Amino acid sequence: MNKSMSSLINVWIQPGPDDIGHSIDEFLSRLKQPTIIQLAGLDASRTRVISTLLHGNEPSGLHAVFNWLKSGKQPAVNTVFFIGAVAAALEHPRFFYRHLPSERDLNRCFKEPFEDYPGLVAKSFLDFLKEEQPECLIDIHNTSGSGPAFAVSICNDLAHQALVSHFVDRLIVTNLRLGSLMELSEQDVPTITVECGGTQDEQAHLLAIESVDRFLLLDDVFQYPATDRELEILYNPVRVELKPDVTIAYNIAPVEGVDITLPLNIEHLNFGVVDTDIQLGWLGERGIDCFQVVSHEGKDISQELLRVEGNQLFPKQPVKAFMITTNPIIAKSDCLFYAVTCQG
Ligand SMILES: [Zn+2]
């Protein structure tokens, strides 16, 4: 490590292929805390930022960084890698915790108040970005369940679409504001989140490795790549959340005494149209009251989105669901899935 930007973030300038260890595990061990890695580009007048591991259990982006550093290639423009939740990733068992149980989720901390540890890390990184004025930022994540890759952005202009097209062919445009890093688009730094696929999917690591490799060699990333793939764009998803005291199970049949049971293979519904006759799971006595689905106007729309027949849960209108999780901890602490109504 070369120096510390503050006591919170290490800065590592131009590490060579031999400095980062032989494996992703050795690389992680050498980081110890949130780290900024700076590389000189062929064009030193511009900078791009790739952010990874804001969630400690989402390793695809770190694989991409490791792979790039091992290659010893020089990027087209100055490049900054930010590796966020290092402590959470290091906590035993490695790459298990999204964030340390005693701390807030780092990717909800990029807005005031910046008082606690992850808040201060987020603030230090935002200060760095303000100084650096990068031309774009790509924040690489994994979904907790398996599913196709996609990107998320708060903007849907051509610049953001072009950035997305270097990584995936599906874009979710959201007006939700949660304090995530992609909200930097509001400060004139085109920023996208790339969800590469499930945390355990080899395919997700490959997507991150290959697309970062291509991306960093391009001179102009705001130009559409030559491909006939069309970008599918979905607007304004809502978060289908569970109320705090709700109990959840994943099983092939309803579990007695539990508020909601979901089938083990529920993630197969990711990004397909879920019609009103497709069963999502089973509900206990509380019925739809388990859910909290807040519209963009701040209204609870659970009853408009979901219906129950006997103990069976169905969508009330056709939806596209994504980021469906089969991890009960994330289902409770974050959300069960995101939904977009098919009427738009
Ligand atoms: Zn994430």
Sorted by sequence, the CB contacts under 8 Å of residue 163 that are 6+ apart come out as: 136, 138, 151, 190, 192, 221, 222
Sorted by sequence, the CB contacts under 8 Å of residue 240 that are 6+ apart come out as: 291, 293, 305, 306, 321, 335, 336, 337, 338, 339
How many angstroms does the Cα of residue 29 sit away from the middle of ligand 1?
Answer: 21
Write down the pLDDT at residue 146.
78
How many angstroms does the Cα of residue 45 sit away from the middle of ligand 1?
Answer: 30
Sorted by sequence, the CB contacts under 8 Å of residue 281 that are 6+ apart come out as: 260, 261, 262, 263, 266, 312, 313
How many angstroms does the Cα of residue 230 sit away from the middle of ligand 1?
Answer: 25
How many angstroms does the Cα of residue 242 sit away from the middle of ligand 1?
Answer: 19
How many angstroms does the Cα of residue 190 sit away from the middle of ligand 1?
Answer: 19
How many angstroms does the Cα of residue 95 sit away from the middle of ligand 1?
Answer: 12
How many angstroms does the Cα of residue 146 sit away from the middle of ligand 1?
Answer: 13
> Cα(237)–Cα(256) distance, rounded to whole angstroms?
31
How many angstroms does the Cα of residue 284 sit away from the middle of ligand 1?
Answer: 30
How many angstroms does the Cα of residue 147 sit away from the middle of ligand 1?
Answer: 14
238 pLDDT exceeds 80? yes
Q: What is the per-residue burial (b if ≥16 Cβ within 10 Å, else e) of 282-317? A: bbbeebeebbbbeeeeeeebbeebbbbeeeebbbbe
How many angstroms does the Cα of residue 293 sit away from the middle of ligand 1?
Answer: 21
Q: Classify residue 321 by its DSSP letter.
A: E
How many angstroms does the Cα of residue 54 sit away from the middle of ligand 1?
Answer: 6
Q: How far is CA 223 from the centre of its chain?
A: 24
How many angstroms does the Cα of residue 107 sit away from the middle of ligand 1?
Answer: 7
How many angstroms does the Cα of residue 129 sit away from the middle of ligand 1?
Answer: 20
Q: DSSP 3-state assignment of 293?
A: strand
How many angstroms does the Cα of residue 53 sit away from the middle of ligand 1?
Answer: 7
Query: Side chain identity at 265, as an amino acid letter?
Result: N
Write down the pLDDT at residue 2.
47
> Cα(190)–Cα(170) distance, rounded to whole angstroms?
17
Q: Residue 61's closest CA among 69, 92, 19, 241?
A: 69
* Phi/psi of residue 170, nearest 5 degrees: -140, 130
Query: Using one digit for the tens of pLDDT, what is the confidence trace for 128-180?
Result: 999 999 999 999 999 877 778 999 999 999 999 999 999 999 999 988 888 99
pTM > 0.75: yes or no: yes
343 band by pLDDT with thresholds 50, 70 and 90: low
For the chain, the first-to-last Cα distance in angstroms comes to: 49
How many angstroms does the Cα of residue 308 sit away from the middle of ligand 1?
Answer: 31
* Phi/psi of residue 125, nearest 5 degrees: -70, -40
How many angstroms does the Cα of residue 175 sit away from the middle of ligand 1?
Answer: 18
Instruction: Tell me whether the omega of the peptide bond preceding residue 113 falls within 30 degrees of 0, making it cis.
Output: yes
Judged by phi (left if over 0) then psi (alpha if -120 to 50, else beta), residue 58 lies in beta
How many angstroms does the Cα of residue 153 sit away from the middle of ligand 1?
Answer: 14
How many angstroms does the Cα of residue 254 sit away from the middle of ligand 1?
Answer: 29
How many angstroms does the Cα of residue 86 sit away from the middle of ligand 1?
Answer: 13
Asked whether 80 and 40 are in contact (CB, 8 A), the reply is no
How many angstroms does the Cα of residue 309 sit away from the middle of ligand 1?
Answer: 34
How many angstroms does the Cα of residue 199 sit away from the middle of ligand 1?
Answer: 9
10 Å CB burial of residue 6 (0-12, 13-18, 19+) is middle
Task: Quote the mean pLDDT of the chain.
Answer: 93
Asked whether 239 and 330 are in contact (CB, 8 A), the reply is no
Write down the pLDDT at residue 129.
96
Q: Which residues pair with 339 in a beta bridge?
A: 238, 321
Write down the pLDDT at residue 344.
44
78 band by pLDDT with thresholds 50, 70 and 90: very high
How many angstroms does the Cα of residue 55 sit away from the middle of ligand 1?
Answer: 5
How many angstroms does the Cα of residue 172 sit away from the middle of ligand 1?
Answer: 15
How many angstroms does the Cα of residue 280 sit away from the middle of ligand 1?
Answer: 24
Helix (H) or strand (E) holding 275: none
How many angstroms does the Cα of residue 142 sit away from the middle of ligand 1?
Answer: 6
Asked whether 261 and 254 are in contact (CB, 8 A), the reply is yes
C-alpha to C-alpha distances, 243 to 70, 323, 329, nearest whole angstrom: 45, 18, 13
> Cα(310)–Cα(99) distance, rounded to whole angstroms?
38
Query: Using one digit for the tens of pLDDT, what is the confidence trace for 39-77?
Result: 999 999 999 999 999 999 999 999 999 999 999 999 999
